[in-house]
Amino acid sequence: MPLTDEQLEALAESESDRAEFKESLSDREKVRRTICAFANDLADRRSPGVIFVGLRNDGSCTGIIVSEEMQNIAADFRSDGSILPMVVLTPRLAQVRGCDVLAIEVEPSQAPPVRCKGVVWVRSGPTNQRATPEEERRLVERVRWHALSFDQRPVPGSTLDDLDLDLFRRTYLPSAVDPQVLEANQREDSVQLASLRLATPDGVPTYAGILVLGKDVRRWIPGAYVQFLRVDGRHLTDPILDEKRIDGPLPELMRILDELLNINIRTAVNITGQARELRKPDYPVAALRQLSRNGIMHRAYDGTNAPVRIYWFDDRLEIQSPGGPFGRVSRENFGQPGVTDYRNPQLAEAMRVLGYVQQFGYGIPEARRTLEQNGNPGIDFDVNATHVLATVRRVP
């Protein structure tokens, strides 16, 4: 529930572990750190923290005009990928002490610790500080498993032996945690995995941990693979040119999938009157990557054993992802700019950490942009309760 005007007025009395004053949004890095600290809620207030933009340190008003652009900048802090896992924040125009301010309300995270560019920040009175190992441990132990998404829950019967810990140390950990923090705090793998929500504090991998690092992913999540089919024609009854089942931990799955997309794209070469070569692929690989990664990230992994299906025909490419719209995304608003939600927030975080996602909510708009630049028709989406089907047609 949003804070009432009276609650905002009371919080704005002075800076505290739940209130911060900012004259503007010019120093965005400090704003991100405060959002991170409020989301971690070290004091366990279980109430939102608020950044009041438009107040000086002494609490006096700066007289700023809260523009729509300023509110959009504040809203983007949630999705730009700097703060992981994604936080719940609400920027809105408010009045305190008779002046307009931008109030950015930040909800406590259900899955701490939250990191800003690999660093866990916490609130100590009215200041932000890097979390100590002990403070980080307290945050890890506070996770409330019953309130978490499927990918953040522990996998019954699994142990840390089911994870590729070498892959974790070599690939994931250096990308997820600030190098200075890693150097200063040499901790055991089990502690690091729990801190990154890939395992529980008592050493049980989460479903996200299995998806990202699992030695045998399909043993625990049978539908966690991509079925790739290349058809010599326009119908499933036509001859099959290639068929593959792609699985494994996320980095391996993504590597093989990217290779398949690249080798199946065909490029036409035209010679102009000036003897220059013009090369145009039948599909831009960037668009296919975005759509296939969206399918892997947003699909339903629980309640189904169906894979993500990529069927490549002579005239089109179909990407089908199990699970319909989720959260605030509906059949009616699917694919609209700015409308996004995350069935698998921990998997989304892992894909952002590993570089497969540049910005949350960016995939479909980027795919549409690159298809248009290449001369392909627009994407056709078939959205229903059980799956989402994206159809991309080749360049005419």
> What is the structure's pLDDT at 187?
85
The reply to whether 138 falls in a domain is no
Say how far apart CA 196 and CA 350 lie, in whole Å: 9
The reply to whether 257 falls in a domain is yes
Q: What is the mean pLDDT of residues 371-396?
A: 96
> What is the structure's pLDDT at 270?
64
Say how far apart CA 164 and CA 44 lie, in whole Å: 34
Same domain (yes/no): 346, 200? no
The reply to whether 340 falls in a domain is yes
The encoded tokens of residue 48 equal: 């939102």
> What is the structure's pLDDT at 51?
97
Confidence of residue 155 (pLDDT cuts 50, 70, 90): very high
Express each pLDDT in 174-193 by its tens digit.
Answer: 999 998 888 887 789 999 99
Dihedral of alpha carbons 299, 304, 307, 310, sign: negative
Say how far apart CA 378 and CA 318 lie, in whole Å: 13
Q: Among 129, 158, 184, which residue terminates a domain?
A: 129
Express each pLDDT in 260-278 by its tens digit.
Answer: 999 999 987 666 655 566 6
The reply to whether 353 falls in a domain is yes
Least confident interval from 212-216, 217-221, 236-240, 330-334:
330-334
Express each pLDDT in 279-325 by its tens digit.
Answer: 789 999 999 999 999 999 999 999 999 999 999 999 999 999 999 99
Specify whether the CB–CB gap between 334 and 383 falls below 8 A: yes
Q: Among 99, 129, 159, which residue terminates a domain?
A: 129
Least confident interval from 111-125, 264-278, 326-340, 363-377:
264-278
Same domain (yes/no): 234, 363? yes
Same domain (yes/no): 260, 345? yes
Same domain (yes/no): 157, 184? yes
Same domain (yes/no): 246, 371? yes
42: CATH: 3.30.950.30
> What is the structure's pLDDT at 129?
97
The encoded tokens of residue 147 equal: 């309130």
Same domain (yes/no): 231, 197? no
* Domain of 264, in residue numbers: 226-393
> What is the structure's pLDDT at 18?
96
The reply to whether 117 falls in a domain is yes
> What is the structure's pLDDT at 275?
55
Same domain (yes/no): 84, 158? no
Say how far apart CA 317 and CA 284 lie, in whole Å: 12
Q: What is the mean pLDDT of residues 239-251?
A: 97
> What is the structure's pLDDT at 174?
94
> What is the structure's pLDDT at 181?
87
The reply to whether 136 falls in a domain is no
> What is the structure's pLDDT at 373?
96
The encoded tokens of residue 255 equal: 């590597």
Same domain (yes/no): 237, 386? yes
Same domain (yes/no): 53, 184? no
Specify whether the CB–CB gap between 187 and 122 falls below 8 A: no
Helix (H, G, I), strand (E, B) or coil at 268: strand
Express each pLDDT in 348-376 by its tens digit.
Answer: 999 999 999 988 888 899 999 999 999 99
The reply to whether 288 falls in a domain is yes
How many domains does the chain contain in total? 3
> What is the structure's pLDDT at 272?
60
Assess whether pLDDT exceeds 90 at residue 347.
Answer: yes
Same domain (yes/no): 326, 387? yes
Confidence of residue 2 (pLDDT cuts 50, 70, 90): confident
Q: What is the mean pLDDT of residues 246-266?
A: 96
Largest interatomic CA distance in the chain: 74
Specify whether the CB–CB gap between 346 and 149 falls below 8 A: yes
Same domain (yes/no): 255, 330? yes
Helix (H, G, I), strand (E, B) or coil at 345: helix
The encoded tokens of residue 278 equal: 């013009």
Mean pLDDT, the chain, integer: 93
Same domain (yes/no): 37, 105? yes
> What is the structure's pLDDT at 144?
73
Percent of the chain with pLDDT over 70: 97
List all residues 6 or more positions away from 228 whose beta carbon is below 8 Å from its beta carbon. Answer: 242, 243, 244, 245, 246, 257, 260, 310, 312
